[in-house]
Amino acid sequence: DTEVTQTPKHLVMGMTNKKSLKCEQHMGHRAMYWYKQKAKKPPELMFVYSYEKLSINESVPSRFSPECPNSSLLNLHLHALQPEDSALYLCASSHVGRLVTDTQYFGPGTRLTVL
């Protein structure tokens, strides 16, 4: 099973709202990722967690706050977002990367619209 699940599928929020995106995988992967993707563009890496610890933050604004409560779950907490933050947010997971075969598998994404 190579399934990564994400909820919700769609989210509309105002600039003063607080919301969270959720991601789950049961492949035994110990690396999990958040990406942001604009229309017709490749995914842009935001955060990487390895063994439940934040290992990479690609200079993402603090209005995005990631959390990895356990090895299967990854959250992205959103607060005071801007309309330009509207995008498809993708979660991915993989083994931690020691092997050349450690490949990333993506979830279906959450389509976020900020009004």
Q: Give the footprint of other proteins on this chain (CB under 8 A).
A: 2, 4, 6, 31-33, 40-43, 45, 48-51, 55-56, 88, 90, 92, 94, 96-98, 100-109, 111
What's the closest the beta carbon of residue 101 comes to other proteins, in angstroms? 6
15 or 96, CB closer to other proteins?
96
Q: Which is nearer to other proteins, 50 or 71 (CB)?
A: 50
3-state secondary structure the chain: CCCEEEECCEEEECCCCEEEEEEEECCCCCEEEEEEECCCCCCEEEEEEECCEEEEECCCCCCEEEEEEECCEEEEEEECCCHHHCEEEEEEEECCCCCCCCCCEECCCEEEEEC
Q: 28: which 2 tokens?
A: 């035994």
Query: Least CB distance from residue 40 to other proteins, whole Å?
Result: 7
- Give the separation between CA 18 and CA 60, rounded to whole angstroms: 17
Residue 49 C-beta: closest distance to other proteins, Å? 7
Q: Which is nearer to other proteins, 74 or 78 (CB)?
A: 74
**Minimum separation from the CB atom of position 65 to other proteins (A):** 18
Task: Give whichever of 81 and 93 is closer to other proteins, judged by the CB atom.
Answer: 93
